[in-house]
Amino acid sequence: MAVDRIFKDEASEEKGERARMASFIGAMAIADLVKTTLGPKGMDKILQSTGRGREVTVTNDGATILKSLHIDNPAAKVLVDISKVQDDEVGDGTTSVVVLAGELLREAEKLVNAKIHPMTIISGYRMAAECARDVLSQRVVDNKENAEKFKSDLMKIAKTTLSSKILSQDKEHFAQLAVDAVMRLKGSTNLESIQIIKKPGGSLMDSFLDEGFILDKKIGIGQPKRIENAKILVANTAMDTDKVKIYGARVRVDSMSKVAEIEVAEKEKMREKVQKIIAHGINCFINRQLIYNFPEELFADAGILAIEHADFEGIERLALVTGGEIASTFDNPESVKVGHCKLIEEIMIGEDRLIHFSGCELGQACTIVLRGASHHVLDEAERSLHDALCVLSQTVNDSRVLLGGGWPEMIMAKEVDELARKTPGKKSHAIEAFSKALLAIPTIIADNAGLDSAEMVAKLRAEHHKEGCTAGIDVISGSVGDMAELGISEAFKVKQAVLLSATEAAEMILRVDEIITCAPRRREDRM
């Protein structure tokens, strides 16, 4: 007796060829979707949400595009995940990693159709990836010892990263901003202490880096507008106890004078709390929660600047920057760490007033103020800058640098080709396929720039047969250019992450031979 069904009614399964086809097609479709955003002449995508307000995002950051898509195909989800991980790990190369994985699968599909077993393809890919990684690590440049050269390397990397983004027109300016900000971190990869404030108005060129910390609040009425040698207490506490704060509590009184007594008692309680805070010997009090009129009045009388409702990220950063701690009880002042800075004043950016803290304890912190025509431009500028900051902070730790513009892919492809010639057996086909997939990246960069990609890649390949060649695609002049002269550099860490993640993702999708979809849960079963 044959077992017909083991799954529920609406569950479906696909086996063998069909499952593999579904995986390949899904993954290649995702790669085709983002591949037009690759390179300096890549185009942007508009993403429109179906939610309230129909929000529109304009971006060419691979991870942002893929994050916003709702995808049904399981193999495509794997690619979305690797691009997210690439974004979190090194910040840049989110599009490259998806495109490379897609190309590896496209080549694998041809091999599977030629009756080569997926496991053979996978072991070939493994060998090829190892070989490519070795050749990359032999060709890196490391200028960690020479501060001048290292800084110019960082500038080049920042410019290369920004050149495919919206900031490409002002990349000198923004590369300088990003390098300065990252140099201040002194080797930590914690980007929390770089704050990015977006203010519409002005042009992108008006953006600047501020040494201190800027809090997006106004200074209250009747409070000092400028404080020198500030001692700052950062707190997260309720300053609104002029009501009985027990839910559902009722107070029964037999005359109005009793109500007045309760009010007076509450005011006294508040006054005591304020006295305790003032006893810390501070002249600036910043609270996460609201400060009501009465305590604000008391602070103003004591000549203390009180700022209410500072957003939580602002508070955390401020505590980090001024060297203070966030306090919520004030009974023993000696245990609370108070923050310091040289000057607090109000500044104007565009139409808005903000509070500026300069001369902070921790020299690491700084604020980048972005100006731009609209919110869409500012959001995209922030994403681009964030990518650059991530890459730079990683490069400060791992200072190995490669040339860019399709140069790394060409040298990897050349070595992998050599390996394919030496390898006996069917694996050599897989290794050759790997080198073809690597060539797809320079091909797509050239295609996106409207150049004749077949001719460009053929020229490049011929150039790369010379020893010590530094040729890559120069999309600005539309020919093969010298990457070392043009100053197009990329971080080794980014390239390595792209190579390894893409290979692993392709392997994972290649291993699939069956897709089982669960039956959807029924609503009425719960009754």
Q: Can 417 be counted among the known catalytic residues?
A: no
Own/partner pairs for 414-417, CB < 8 Å, 24+ apart? Answer: 414/461, 414/464, 414/465, 415/131, 415/132, 415/134, 415/135, 416/128, 416/131, 416/132
Q: Can 237 be counted among the known catalytic residues?
A: no
Can you tell me whether residue 267 is helix, strand or coil? helix
Q: Which of 57, 59, 61, 153 is catalytic?
A: 61
pLDDT tens, 111-168? 999 999 999 999 999 999 999 999 999 988 888 788 888 888 888 888 888 888 877 7
Give the residue, 43 or 4, on which the prediction is more confident.
43
pLDDT tens, 198-236? 888 888 888 888 877 787 777 767 777 788 888 888 888
Q: What is the mean pLDDT of residues 459-469?
A: 86
Q: Assign residue 235 a region: left if phi > 0, alpha if psi is -120 to 50, beta otherwise? A: beta
Could you give the percent of the chain with pLDDT greater than 70?
Answer: 94
pLDDT tens, 253-265? 888 888 788 878 8
pLDDT tens, 285-343? 888 887 777 778 888 888 888 877 777 666 777 777 777 778 777 777 777 788 888 88
pLDDT at 335: 78
Q: Can 153 be counted among the known catalytic residues?
A: no
Can you tell me whether residue 156 is helix, strand or coil? helix
**276 to 289, 299, 340: CA distances (angstroms):** 18, 12, 19
User: Which segments within 137-222 are labelled E, that is strand?
Assistant: 141-142, 194-200, 208-210, 213-215
Q: What is the mean pLDDT of residues 340-352?
A: 82
Please name the amino acid found at residue 257. Answer: S
pTM: 0.84
Highest-pLDDT range among 199-213, 234-248, 398-412? 398-412
Burial label for 176, CB within 10 Å (0-12, 13-18, 19+), is middle
Helices (H), 404-510: 407-422, 427-448, 453-463, 483-486, 492-510
Q: Can 387 be counted among the known catalytic residues?
A: yes
Q: How far apart are CA 503 and CA 107, in angstroms?
A: 12
217: tokens are 């609040």
pLDDT tens, 176-205? 888 888 887 776 767 777 888 888 888 888
Could you give the percent of the chain with pLDDT greater than 90?
Answer: 16
pLDDT at 1: 45
Give the residue, 76 or 360, on which the prediction is more confident.
76
Task: Classify residue 56 by its DSSP letter.
Answer: E
Q: Which of 37, 57, 64, 94 is catalytic?
A: 94
Q: What is the mean pLDDT of the chain?
A: 84
Q: What is the mean pLDDT of residues 30-52?
A: 86
Q: Which of 37, 95, 395, 503 is catalytic?
A: 95
Own/partner pairs for 422-427, CB < 8 Å, 24+ apart? Answer: 423/124, 423/127, 426/116, 426/120, 426/124, 427/120, 427/123, 427/124, 427/127
**386 to 37, 106, 158, 390: CA distances (angstroms):** 18, 32, 11, 6
Q: How confident is the model at residue 245 (pLDDT cuts 50, 70, 90)?
A: low
Q: Which of 87, 153, 210, 387 is catalytic?
A: 387
Q: Which of 329, 311, 356 is nearest to 233 (CA)?
A: 329
